[in-house]
Structure 1
Amino acid sequence: MNETAIRVLKILEESPGPISGEEIAEHLGISQSAVWKQIRELRRLGYRISSSRAEGYRLEARTDQLLPYELTKKLRTRVIGRQIRHFDRTASTGWVAKRLIAETDPEKLHGMVIIAEEQTGGVGRLGRAWVSPAGGIWATIILKPRIPLDHLFMITMAGSIAIARAIRKEYDLSALIKWPNDIFIGDKKVAGLLLEISAEADTVHYALLGMGIDANVALDELSPPLRETVTTLAAEVGHPVDRVSLLARILREFELRYMQLDDGEYESVIREWKSLSLTLDRRVAIRTVNKTFSGEAIDIDEHGALIIRKDNGKIERVIAGDCFQI
């Protein structure tokens, strides 16, 4: 949204009733045709603005897009989301983040959130395709962590906690975390995260925390196999959700846990993750690159590894792999 459109929008927001294009033009020092151009842009972005020759323009309803202007009003964070890039459509927000990092010092991008209304090439764990139609929340947070390399997985833990807490607070739904990076409601997935790290030796160049949340995605847009395992927030509450309010809360919740990690408060984050875990104290099947086995998930360590008591009684530490409840 350009600066002039924002100024027009603010006038519409503050006006107690309809306001003429002439008044808006005079207030901003632009022509009436320029006002009309910005009104068209605001409508394109999803704002419902009525107009009549007799009364002028009136803002009837806000957009449902995740625009920086709308998000910033509800954010109340110190770092996370203070810079925002928004796209109607892109291949993936992670790809945009990497392009920006190639051009700019990651330190200057720390906390930036990249948002897309739709992704055409979303990527999940292990390079799997992530279906990302309109109506969801598809975002990547750029981070320049000071967290030690061996604790970086805890950024995923902080993100998982943030999403689960936000869903619980906004909608009173029992969202839980399935190791390593999924959020479930009941027996269906509603969100997932992906952490990408660029590092060498003990130097962390940057970290990208991607998140995908099936907020207002229409279930009939998903393939039949996906409908068996995936739900959406709209389906769970019975109506479309306010994505701006949800994402703003997620970013606030994430910043809180990220600051804890930054201060070395690892145990408090681990403890909270465990309290929201769908995986611990359950029988699970684990599939890694090299093997498959089953057992009881008994703990998670400070590096994010899942501790399994295998059926033969041996203890195994799982750093990466797929986890299935059985």
Structure 2
Amino acid sequence: MASDSAFDHERYASLRGGGRIGVRVHAVASTTSTMDDARAGADQHGAEGCGDAYLAGEQTAGRGRFGRRWVAAPGAALLVTFQLCPAAGPHTPLLSAAGGLATAEAVGAACGVDVTLKWPNDVLAGGRKLAGVLADARTARGGVEVFLGIGVNLQEAATAGLPPEERARATSIEGAGATPPDAEMLLASLAQALERRLEQIEREPSAFLEDWRVRLETIGRRVQLAAAGVDAGAAGVVEGVATGVTQSGELTLRLDDGSERSFAAGDVTTL
């Protein structure tokens, strides 16, 4: 893949400043998937690539949560995957939440759009999805590698290829009434916010959880949850009131029979 000459690395570096996350950016005009690029880059660079960002102007085979396709017109979305190398520990499940919270903060800082989060990490503007996060983990070299894929809809063209029912639930920075920032500015803001939140998870996980909970518009609402992963077989689709999140980021629901259950993964719809 050819590098993307449209991405201004020098300007980005001046905006990003020092740190660990997103200091080195591998930018291409088009790719099948930034997640695949990040995995291949990690295979090549190993631990030296920890924190690297893999950016593309277009994805031809991008994917979201639960195997959904991530479709966007060329240049209409910020598409990036970060290679993370966290210390193995109980906070690894929170990295996906960190991606969602950092994205919400970056969008707000870069263009002033008022956004919230739908558990666990969908970024919403006016109740419609503006950005999404996908975390994929693997063991490597005796540790854990997490690939955090983030897609932010910049222009309304980013939603044009979606099925009608999905397009009705989607929006963009442009659709929210703001001028989309350039890739250098938004990526720098995102990398800074992500680094802050990852450090907070390590130092003060309880404070991170509270900051995340405050942003979650899901809490206190009656929702339907289509359970996934280990919860899917036993739970299927359940309804209840979202009462909070656990220390590992699971969503807690108070069911109609008065009992409470926590779910590690699932697709939430507000009723």
User: TM-score of the superposition, structure 2-length normalised?
Assistant: 0.90
The alpha carbon displacement at 1:314 in A equals 0.9
> For 1:324 and 1:317, how far apart are their aligned partners in 2?
16
Q: Does 1:283 align with 2:222?
A: yes
Letter in 2 for 1:286: L
3-state SS of 2:253 partner: strand
Rg larger in 1 or in 2? Answer: 1
How do 1:87-126 and structure 2 match up within 5 A? 87-105=28-46, 107-126=47-66
* Corresponding residue for residue 303 of structure 1: 248
Query: Cα–Cα, structure 1 residues 219 and 158, in superposed 2: closer, same or farther, change >3 Å?
Result: closer
3-state SS of 1:237 partner: coil
Could you list the runs of 5+ residues in structure 1 that have no partner in the other structure?
A: 3-40, 46-64
The alpha carbon displacement at 1:147 in A equals 4.6
Aligned residues: 261
Letter in 2 for 1:210: G
Query: Cα–Cα, structure 1 residues 89 and 179, in superposed 2: closer, same or farther, change >3 Å?
Result: same
Letter in 2 for 1:122: G
The alpha carbon displacement at 1:243 in A equals 3.0
Could you list the runs of 5+ residues in structure 2 that have no partner in the other structure?
A: none
CA contact (8 A) 2:73 2:158 kept: no
Q: Does 1:144 align with 2:85?
A: yes
Give CA deviations for 1:223-242 in whole Å, capped at 9, x if unaligned: 33332010010121254433
* Corresponding residue for residue 118 of structure 2: 178
> For 1:217 and 1:89, how far apart are their aligned partners in 2?
19
* Corresponding residue for residue 31 of structure 1: none
Q: Does 1:160 align with 2:105?
A: no
> For 2:80 and 2:25, how far apart are their aligned partners in 1?
10
3-state SS of 1:229 partner: coil
Give CA deviations for 1:220-262 in whole Å, capped at 9, x if unaligned: 7333333201001012125443332122111111111111223
Query: Cα–Cα, structure 1 residues 257 and 240, in superposed 2: closer, same or farther, change >3 Å?
Result: closer
Give CA deviations for 1:185-204 in whole Å, capped at 9, x if unaligned: 1110000001111138xx53
Letter in 2 for 1:69: E
Give CA deviations for 1:120-170 in whole Å, capped at 9, x if unaligned: 00011121111132220000000111151x321211121111111122223
Letter in 1 for 2:42: I
> For 2:166 and 2:241, how far apart are their aligned partners in 1?
27
CA contact (8 A) 1:142 1:206 kept: yes
3-state SS of 2:149 partner: strand
How do 1:203-242 and structure 2 match up within 5 A? 204-218=143-157, 221-223=160-162, 224-242=164-182
> For 1:246 and 1:77, how far apart are their aligned partners in 2?
16
Letter in 2 for 1:156: S
Query: Cα–Cα, structure 1 residues 114 and 219, in superposed 2: closer, same or farther, change >3 Å?
Result: closer
User: TM-score of the superposition, structure 1-length normalised?
Assistant: 0.75
Query: Cα–Cα, structure 1 residues 217 and 77, in superposed 2: closer, same or farther, change >3 Å?
Result: farther
Letter in 1 for 2:92: L
> For 2:34 and 2:206, how far apart are their aligned partners in 1?
31
Letter in 2 for 1:197: A
Q: Relative contact order, CA 8 A, sep 6+: which one is greater?
A: 2
* Corresponding residue for residue 133 of structure 2: 193
CA contact (8 A) 2:101 2:121 kept: no
